[in-house]
Structure 1
Amino acid sequence: MEARLRHEVVYQFDGRATVAEVARSLLAQEKLLREAVAVLEECFDGLDISSVGVDIKLVAQESPLRTNLALFFAGVYSGEIGQDMPDILDTLFGLDVPDGYDSFVSLLVILVAIFGIDWLYKRMFPDKSGDKIEEEKDRLLAEAARMASLTEQQIEGAIDRALGKRERSVSKASMDFLQPARRHHASEVRSGSTILPKEVIDQIPSDIDLADYEPPSETEELRDVLIRFRAHDLDRNKKWAATIEEVSSERKPLHLAPDIQPDRLFNRNQVRGDVIVTTVRGPEGDYVPSLYYLEKIYD
């Protein structure tokens, strides 16, 4: 089964965004689209997504700023085809996907972004209430549940399972996605039939908030990720290196936990495991992975 969907975002503000803002927004949207597909997979037992692709179709820099991406994903549904197949999957994997179901995936993108902003807001301002963000999260949860014929608890549980171990990276993508709207005082952000209103945009942390909050380095724990090896050293495990595509396509130093014996990994091209990722803040404010610490491997 395959689905090809469009994902358009309109930032409603006067003036022009910078090239850097647009580039970061596009990269963030690609990540959030992939995260939305992961949430979709968690929503329905038996749905297994095997591949996801995202292409740029249009970027219009005039006012309003408009981006148009194309999402492709393929998968299988192990449940019985027919009455037991959820209606939304039956439609998504049909030959001609109606616009309303394009909007469902775009709704998931906005919902994931609001969860990312909410996670960040609570870390930055533990003593303040992000009431508009909370209200918007509840509203979008209710809308997603209605469209998918699920409960709000099921949608939220799917988000927690799919993204709960990647809160920081999702928050980063969410900020990059919505910063053009926050920085240029947008009246709304629209994707499909989903509209993010001004009162929510205004509560997103500002550049000044981020500058005051951002530490020089951060750590994030990833569970059950694929680690690919490119260099091994049995005697000095600090010389190990690996790539983790969920973090970066670049090879980074890998340290092993004391209870992991190097000979368990030698001559293996890849393993699945739990990793602590250390990132450092670069000159432009982006966090760049610098070191992986392998805590556990799954044989």
Structure 2
Amino acid sequence: MELVVNQQIYYSNKKLIPIEDVAESLLALEGVIRHSPEVLEALFPGVKISAVDIYIKALKSDSLWEDVVVKFIFGSQDKLDLFIENARERLGMNKISNDGLLSVIIILLIFVGYSYLLNRDQTVTQQQRDTIEANNNTIINIGAGMVDITAEEFRILIDGAVKDKEKLAKDAVRIVKPAKLDPEASITFNDNQALQILPETVRAMPGYVSDLEDEEFIEDFPSLEMEVRATDLDSTKRGWAVVMPEISEERVKLHLDSTIDRRKLHEKDRFKGSATVIFKLDKKYKKLPKLVLLREIIE
């Protein structure tokens, strides 16, 4: 009751890619693939996909090669058989991966995310928009040819299948982010040079989502070294600030747990503590500490 599809993505970067960017791109890829059942159901009316699971099959460095396994879960064998028969009739094949239909869907979902972003970001130039749209049109024509519909019909079908375009835009930016580290890098899908986000497209794509500065990320640190920069014996939430050398050299606001003796902390220049750090993202998609919640001083 499941259909298994292998999917490879190759970033042609010449230098090693930071592990944080690799992790973000994989999580974003998962997010984008989770939109694909809605597209497939729109392409093949009458088919219902119950769930989709994504697994890492292989990960190679130098450049970056991400090899994942996508499992489309159907509610019954009959529903799986219906999908395979429908796909065979429409595509002349019994696996949607044979001619790269899933790759086409993933690429176009990335472009749908960027389209949503470009409609909101007035700082993007017309030349950037034209470059992105040209690459998008190429992939649309390939996909439309696969399922034997017009390019415009295929464009409308892909766009209409996406329910949460804001989340898709954020995932699209994260997927492209590793390639933006190299001005000549492209992103190729399933080792098919026709299914590619071109270097000039990567360069034209914005590297951030303009409203992400409002998004926060929370991370717990069981033992974090901190340097005191400001204190206030009259409050646990006002006037306190620290620097965390492991994370950032910037001064960050500190809130104290009510169980902490403020006078004891006031006497210290440097200490270790159990803490929760709240991060935000800057326009370059880098995590910046916004607030530290000190749970306990470690003696």
Q: Shorter-chain-normalised TM-score: which range?
A: 0.5 to 0.7
Q: Provide Cα deviations, 1:71-126, integer angstroms capped at 9, x if missing partner.
A: 010337879969x834367867x4xx48534x210121011101211221231126
* Residues 31 and 171 in structure 2, CA contact (< 8 A), matched pair in contact too: yes
Partner of 2:13: 13
Describe the shift of the 1:78–1:69 C-alpha distance in structure 2 as closer, same or farther (beyond 3 A): closer
Query: Counterparts of 1:61-100 in structure 2 under 5 Å?
Result: 61-62=61-62, 64-75=63-74, 85-87=86-88, 94=94, 97=95, 100=98
**Counterparts of 1:3 and 1:14 in 2: how far apart (Å)?**
35
The residue identity in structure 1 corresponding to 2:88 is D
In the TM superposition, what is the alpha-carbon distance from 1:29 to its structure 2 partner?
Answer: 0.8
- Per the alignment, in what secondary structure is the counterpart of residue 16 of structure 1? coil
Partner of 1:167: 165
* Residues 46 and 79 in structure 1, CA contact (< 8 A), matched pair in contact too: no
Describe the shift of the 1:54–1:104 C-alpha distance in structure 2 as closer, same or farther (beyond 3 A): same
**Counterparts of 1:42 and 1:98 in 2: how far apart (Å)?**
14
Q: Provide Cα deviations, 1:136-182, integer angstroms capped at 9, x if missing partner.
A: 1111111111012222233223223321x311100000000001101
Describe the shift of the 1:215–1:54 C-alpha distance in structure 2 as closer, same or farther (beyond 3 A): closer
The residue identity in structure 2 corresponding to 1:174 is A
In the TM superposition, what is the alpha-carbon distance from 1:16 to its structure 2 partner?
Answer: 0.7
**Counterparts of 2:82 and 2:5 in 1: how far apart (Å)?**
22
The residue identity in structure 1 corresponding to 2:168 is V
Describe the shift of the 1:177–1:73 C-alpha distance in structure 2 as closer, same or farther (beyond 3 A): same
Unaligned runs of 5+ in 1: 219-280, 288-299
Unaligned runs of 5+ in 2: 216-277, 288-299
**Counterparts of 1:104 and 1:37 in 2: how far apart (Å)?**
12
Q: Normalising by structure 1, report the TM-score.
A: 0.63
Partner of 2:198: 197
1:114 aligns with 2:146: no
**Counterparts of 1:78 and 1:51 in 2: how far apart (Å)?**
13
Residue among 214, 227, 233 paired with 2:211: 214
In the TM superposition, what is the alpha-carbon distance from 1:37 to its structure 2 partner?
Answer: 2.7
In the TM superposition, what is the alpha-carbon distance from 1:38 to its structure 2 partner?
Answer: 1.9
- Percent identity over the alignment is 21
Q: Normalising by structure 2, report the TM-score.
A: 0.63
In the TM superposition, what is the alpha-carbon distance from 1:215 to its structure 2 partner?
Answer: 5.6
The residue identity in structure 1 corresponding to 2:105 is L
Describe the shift of the 1:46–1:78 C-alpha distance in structure 2 as closer, same or farther (beyond 3 A): farther
Residue among 174, 177, 194 paired with 1:176: 174
Q: CA RMSD in A?
A: 3.1
- Per the alignment, in what secondary structure is the counterpart of residue 183 of structure 2? coil
* Residues 91 and 147 in structure 2, CA contact (< 8 A), matched pair in contact too: no
Partner of 1:157: 156
* Residues 8 and 191 in structure 1, CA contact (< 8 A), matched pair in contact too: yes
**Counterparts of 2:92 and 2:181 in 1: how far apart (Å)?**
37
**Counterparts of 1:38 and 1:19 in 2: how far apart (Å)?**
31
* Structure number with bigger Rg: 2
- Per the alignment, in what secondary structure is the counterpart of residue 34 of structure 2? helix
* Residues 213 and 280 in structure 2, CA contact (< 8 A), matched pair in contact too: no
Describe the shift of the 1:78–1:151 C-alpha distance in structure 2 as closer, same or farther (beyond 3 A): farther
**Counterparts of 2:55 and 2:174 in 1: how far apart (Å)?**
18
Describe the shift of the 1:18–1:138 C-alpha distance in structure 2 as closer, same or farther (beyond 3 A): same
The residue identity in structure 1 corresponding to 2:9 is V
Q: Provide Cα deviations, 1:222-268, integer angstroms capped at 9, x if missing partner.
A: xxxxxxxxxxxxxxxxxxxxxxxxxxxxxxxxxxxxxxxxxxxxxxx
User: Number of residue pairs matched?
Assistant: 215
- Per the alignment, in what secondary structure is the counterpart of residue 71 of structure 2? strand
The residue identity in structure 1 corresponding to 2:50 is S
Partner of 2:257: none
Partner of 1:185: 183
* Residues 6 and 69 in structure 2, CA contact (< 8 A), matched pair in contact too: yes
Partner of 1:54: 54
* Residues 183 and 206 in structure 1, CA contact (< 8 A), matched pair in contact too: no
Describe the shift of the 1:81–1:7 C-alpha distance in structure 2 as closer, same or farther (beyond 3 A): closer
**Counterparts of 1:14 and 1:191 in 2: how far apart (Å)?**
18
**Counterparts of 1:156 and 1:20 in 2: how far apart (Å)?**
33
**Counterparts of 1:120 and 1:37 in 2: how far apart (Å)?**
22
* Residues 214 and 280 in structure 2, CA contact (< 8 A), matched pair in contact too: no
Query: Counterparts of 1:24-43 in structure 2 under 5 Å?
Result: 24-43=24-43
